[in-house]
């Protein structure tokens, strides 16, 4: 079964510049840095998931450069954590997601020399309607990113998938991937929204009112990060040169949200302060 969202991948042109930008955004240091023949990465691990920044290596990584040249920097894939990769691979095959063979992988952290290993597979992108979905069984845990500023981002609240077909998305994320549907709602201004519980966060699908979906593809769109104090987080980010809107009431009663307008490497991003606990 899927136990949660392990990480999202953000493609970036310059790994050092992007790492500095996300350290300022998140108020945290990267927990992991690695380099191989094709790519360089930096991983920020929050309370409930990780954000991986991925850039082409100097001598290779043409597929990464091509992806950025085509679609720009931004969200590229979701990697979901599973308990038993072999069993999950069989399920993906049975439900028509045409998974690649399970492969072994590993990485060494350039920060402290620690190592991690994993097994993973990937659903065929066309079977997932344009969204790149990976599935990972990780041997061990990444360290949590060190907090370096006041009012840091604590975790991810939801990741947004822009969908051309809500019923098709419900079949993928609900029936095939067995994520728990928590909301299915249409609104004249927002469009058709669905929420699927994935561990300690939500995969949100949205078909936007009035948008042209003639190509039929779904796309990863944006991230909503949790903060404990949205006003303090906004002040911190503004001091670091990040443009953040005034907080406003969120759609869920008791929440506050603010839009981050730059410093995200092309990822539409909002901050969300959950309702106060009673």
Domain assignment present for 145: no
Domain assignment present for 229: yes
Choosing from 89, 110, 139, the residue where a domain stops is 139
What is the full DSSP assignment across 82-107?
Answer: ES-HHHHHHHHHHTT--PPPPEEEEE
6/135 same-domain check: yes
The pTM of the full predicted model, rounded to 2 decimals, is 0.95
Domain assignment present for 131: yes
Domain assignment present for 147: no
81/119 same-domain check: yes
Distance of alpha carbon 13 from alpha carbon 104, whole angstroms: 27
Choosing from 85, 104, 139, the residue where a domain stops is 139
pLDDT for the residue numbered 184: 96
pLDDT for the residue numbered 62: 86
pLDDT for the residue numbered 57: 87
pLDDT for the residue numbered 199: 96
161/267 same-domain check: yes
51/107 same-domain check: yes
69/192 same-domain check: no
pLDDT in tens, 47-91: 999 999 999 987 677 889 998 999 999 999 999 999 999 999 999
CB 145 within 8 A of CB 28: yes
Report angle CA 49, 168, 70 to the nearest 5 degrees.
65
pLDDT in tens, 160-194: 999 999 999 999 999 999 999 999 999 888 899 99
178/134 same-domain check: no
pLDDT for the residue numbered 259: 98
Domain assignment present for 173: yes
Number of domains in the chain: 2
Instruction: Provide φ and ψ at 13, rounded to 5°.
Output: -80, -40
Q: What residues make up the domain containing 235?
A: 153-273
What is the full DSSP assignment across 2-18?
Answer: EEEEEEEEEE-S-HHHH
DSSP assigned state of 263: S
Domain assignment present for 19: yes
31/103 same-domain check: yes
130/165 same-domain check: no
pLDDT for the residue numbered 278: 54
54/21 same-domain check: yes
Distance of alpha carbon 236 from alpha carbon 67, whole angstroms: 33
Choosing from 109, 139, 169, the residue where a domain stops is 139
**CATH number of the domain within which 18 lies:** 3.10.180.10
Domain assignment present for 33: yes
83/193 same-domain check: no
> 3-class secondary structure for 22-55?
HHHHHCECCCEEEECCCEEEEEEECCCCEEEEEE
CB 57 within 8 A of CB 73: no
Using CA atoms, how far residue 167 sits from 17, 93, 236, 250, 265, in Å, is: 39, 21, 41, 26, 31
CB 26 within 8 A of CB 265: no
7/135 same-domain check: yes
pLDDT for the residue numbered 276: 76
pLDDT for the residue numbered 58: 75
Domain assignment present for 278: no
Residues of the chain with pLDDT below 50 are none
73/195 same-domain check: no
């Amino acid at each position: 079964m899927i136990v949660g969202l392990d990480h999202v991948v953000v493609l970036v042109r310059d790994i050092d510049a992007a790492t500095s930008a996300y350290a300022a955004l998140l108020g945290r240091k990267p927990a992991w840095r690695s380099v191989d023949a094709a790519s360089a990465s930096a991983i920020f691990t929050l309370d409930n998931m990780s954000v991986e920044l991925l850039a082409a290596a100097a001598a290779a990584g043409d597929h990464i450069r091509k992806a950025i040249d085509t679609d720009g920097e931004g969200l590229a894939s979701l990697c979901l954590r599973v308990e038993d990769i072999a069993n999950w691979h069989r399920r993906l095959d049975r439900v028509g997601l045409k998974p690649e063979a399970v492969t072994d992988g590993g990485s060494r952290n350039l920060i402290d020399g620690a190592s991690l290993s994993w097994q993973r597979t990937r659903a065929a992108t066309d079977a997932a309607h344009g969204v790149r979905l990976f599935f990972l069984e990780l041997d061990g845990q990444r360290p949590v990113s060190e907090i370096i500023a006041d009012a840091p981002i604590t975790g991810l609240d939801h990741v947004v998938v822009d969908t051309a077909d809500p019923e098709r998305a419900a079949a993928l994320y609900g029936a095939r991937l067995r994520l728990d549907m928590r909301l299915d709602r249409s609104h004249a201004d927002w469009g058709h929204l669905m929420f699927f519980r994935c561990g300690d966060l939500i995969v949100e699908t949205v078909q936007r009112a009035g948008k042209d979906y003639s190509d039929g593809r779904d796309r990863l769109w944006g991230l909503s990060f949790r903060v404990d104090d949205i006003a303090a987080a906004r002040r911190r980010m503004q001091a670091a040169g990040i443009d953040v809107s005034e907080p406003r009431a969120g759609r869920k009663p008791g929440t506050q949200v603010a839009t981050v307008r730059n410093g995200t490497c092309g990822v539409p991003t909002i901050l969300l302060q959950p309702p106060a606990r009673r």
